[in-house]
Amino acid sequence: MKIAIISDVHGNFDALSELPESYDELWALGDLVNYGPEPGQVIDWVRDKATLIVRGNHDQCIGYGDDPQCSPRFRHMAEATRQFSDAVVTPEQKVYIRSFPSRIGVRRAQTRFFLCHATPSDPLYEYRTAESEKWVEECTQLNTDVIFVGHTHVPFIRSFNGQILVNPGSIGQPKTGKPDACYAVWENGQVSLRTYPYRVGQTIEKIRRMPIAQNIQHNLIAVLESGGLSPE
CATH of the domain at 201: 3.60.21.10
Residue 158 belongs to a domain: no
Q: State pLDDT tens for residues 114-127.
A: 999 999 999 999 99
Average pLDDT of the residues of the chain: 96
Residue 25 lies in a domain: yes
Query: Would you say residue 160 lies in a domain?
Result: no
* pLDDT exceeds 60 at position 232: no
Establish how many alpha carbons lie within 13 A of residue 140's alpha carbon, considering only the half-sphere containing its beta carbon: 9
Closest residue by Cα to residue 209 from 62, 88, 72 = 88
Within a domain: 203: yes
In a domain, 141, yes or no: no
pTM across the whole model: 0.96
Determine, yes or no, domain membership for 49: yes
> Which are the contacts of 212, defined by CB distance < 8 A and separation ≥ 6?
80, 81, 83, 84
- Compute the average pLDDT of residues 12-30: 98
Number of domains comprising the chain: 1
Determine how β-strand 156-160 pairs with β-strand 111-116: unpaired
Residue 25 lies in domain: 2-108+171-226
Residue 98: inside a domain: yes
